[in-house]
Amino acid sequence: MSDITSLTLTELVKNIKDKKISSEETTKAFIDRGEKSRDLNAYITEDFSNALLKAKSFDQKPNFDLKLPGVPMAVKDLFCTKDVKTTAGSKILNNFIPPYESTVTQNIWDVGAILLGKLNCDEFAMGSSNETSFFGNVQSPIDKGLVPGGSSGGSASALAANLTPITIGTDTGGSIRQPASFTGTVGLKPTYGSCSRYGIVAFASSLDQAGPMSKDVKDCALLQEIISTYDEKDSTSIDFKRNEYSKELTNNIKGKKIGVPKEYRVDRMPKEIEDLWTKGIEYAKDCGAEIIEISLPHTNYALPTYYIVAPAEASSNLARYDGVKYGFRSKGENLIDMYEKTRSEGFGSEVQRRIMIGTYVLSSGYYDAYYLKAQKVRKLIKNDFEEAYKKVDAILTPSTPSAAFKIGEKTNDPVSMYLNDIFTVPVNLAGLPAISIPAGVDVKGYPLGLQIIGKAFDEQNILNIAYAMEEKIQFRNKITDWWIK
């Protein structure tokens, strides 16, 4: 058997079920790797000694019928974990220990998984490089000095470096798919309403969605079937028939109609992204899919729409951090002074920027011109997809407009940072599912991802397409194990 930490989740589960390895051995292996890789700064909170205790107790009374029997895993620090510090990457929550568990993480523990710790992320998930975290930036294991993407940067780095066999992130405008694309891993943003938002620190409630990040598509399907449940504790959770995605996974996608939106050929698109997309189209054809050019005419408006809607919702959601109810509190001369000092010392500059933009677009006099208009454009973007899906079963695009960039390269230029989300935000605005799979590399050898976008609730279909294409691409076999250095 190869090194425990380099196994896929599916392989790991099989080895544990076949009693070839114990939960304790597995957990020790991941802890050991985590301790040796602290330079990545992937963890905000390590929960290693508790993880070992839980693993030992699993081995004493194992239950191999569970889907993740004694499997250790780390999760993004945006999920509330009962009695374990949850910071959302922010100073303002630096001392927050939730008295309750998020539904998504509870679903994972219920099937036998064990928490290894909480992974670094951009502050309140606002960012595309993990550089806005109060706990410092995260290194990509692919090349030191390279961002792992964001906001689920700690998750992507930990997964690519084999510190965790699988992980969960959240995606508001691309936070799962972009870091997956930057680190040669797989990331799924499920349909809005598929995974419960209960216990996830809120950023933009009409866009936030939890989802799996994994080494391959099969693992992604397995975790999705575990975390996707109807939850009456989330008023936007949707009660629909969920598949056993991993069991129903097939690579037979013959005759599937896959759309290629002409508006995604953006100005100044780097040649390597064009080439990747062209190759992706060829892979899809090789799998027996039919390629159809489609139009999503309002694509150009998606980024500005997102950067009005998301900050508006953030400004409202983050109003609760006032130094009274949660976390950090600064001293003030009086109540107002205390509020002001708490919020200006507790939030980083990107979060403050978004709160100000959000407050501005919601203020009377500007509401109609910005927020209301953005809502109307959002509807048009959604309609574009609905029209397209009359002709096709799924849509294929690049995941990001470039490969990973250097730490510090874009920190002083928020607009260039926001442009990272150009291919991912339309999906969140329309509430659709989309998956990013590793598909190639740029000139420097850094990974690039392709995105497959589905109809609402059609996760099975995009997982199948991703599965079939993954088999053709053979990314993990072709690319030397740079993430295991």
Ligand X SMILES: NC(=O)C[C@H](N)C(=O)O
- Owner of token pair 């992980």: 167
How many other CB atoms are found less than 10 A from the CB of residue 57?
A: 14
Helices (H), 44-102: 48-60
User: Whole-number minimum distance, CB 399 to ligand X, in Å?
Assistant: 13
* Listed residue (257, 183, 210) closest to 75, CA to CA: 210
Task: Tell me whether residue 151 is one of the annotated catalytic residues.
Answer: yes
User: Whole-number minimum distance, CB 282 to ligand X, in Å?
Assistant: 30
Report the side by side order of strands in the sheet with 394-398: 167-170, 210-214, 186-189, 434-441, 447-454, 394-398, 257-261, 290-294
User: Whole-number minimum distance, CB 346 to ligand X, in Å?
Assistant: 19
- Owner of token pair 């509330």: 80
Taking phi over 0 as left and psi of -120 to 50 as alpha, with beta for the rest, 452 belongs to beta
Q: Which is nearer to ligand X, 93 or 473 (CB)?
A: 93
* Listed residue (199, 214, 47) closest to 114, CA to CA: 47
Which is the catalytic residue, given 152, 175, 181, 214? 175
Residue ranges in contact with ligand X by CB under 6 A: 125-128, 151, 171-175, 203, 310, 421
Indicate the helix (H) or strand (E) that contains 282: helix 271-286
Which is the catalytic residue, given 54, 76, 118, 218? 76
Q: Which is nearer to ligand X, 165 or 187 (CB)?
A: 187
Q: Which is nearer to ligand X, 200 or 258 (CB)?
A: 200
Strands 434-441 and 186-189: antiparallel
Task: Determine the residue with CB nearest ligand X.
Answer: 175
Q: Which is nearer to ligand X, 47 or 313 (CB)?
A: 313
Q: In angstroms, how far is CA 194 from the centroid of its own chain?
A: 14
Q: Which is nearer to ligand X, 51 or 417 (CB)?
A: 417
Q: Which is nearer to ligand X, 171 or 393 (CB)?
A: 171
Q: Is the Cα torsion angle 33, 402, 459, 284 positive or negative in sign?
A: negative
CB 47 within 8 A of CB 83: no
Q: Rg of the chain over CA atoms, in angstroms?
A: 21
Distance CA(320)–CA(90), nearest Å, equals: 14
User: Whole-number minimum distance, CB 32 to ligand X, in Å?
Assistant: 31
Strands 72-76 and 114-119: parallel
DSSP letter (8 states) at residue 131: -
* Listed residue (352, 111, 74, 317) closest to 200, CA to CA: 317
Q: Which is nearer to ligand X, 4 or 210 (CB)?
A: 210
User: Whole-number minimum distance, CB 127 to ligand X, in Å?
Assistant: 5
Task: Tell me whether residue 436 is one of the annotated catalytic residues.
Answer: no
Q: Which is nearer to ligand X, 175 or 460 (CB)?
A: 175
Residues 87-108, buried b or exposed e (16+ Cβ, 10 A)? bbbbbbbbebebeebbbbbbbb
Q: Which is nearer to ligand X, 79 or 475 (CB)?
A: 79
Task: Tell me whether residue 175 is one of the annotated catalytic residues.
Answer: yes
Distance CA(266)–CA(274), nearest Å, equals: 10
3-state SS of the chain: helix, strand, coil percent to 5?
40, 15, 45
Which is the catalytic residue, given 151, 157, 181, 214? 151
User: Whole-number minimum distance, CB 204 to ligand X, in Å?
Assistant: 7
Distance set, CA 312 to CA 76, 242, 303, 307, 319 (Å):
23, 32, 14, 8, 11
User: Whole-number minimum distance, CB 428 to ligand X, in Å?
Assistant: 7
Residues involved in catalysis: 76, 151, 175
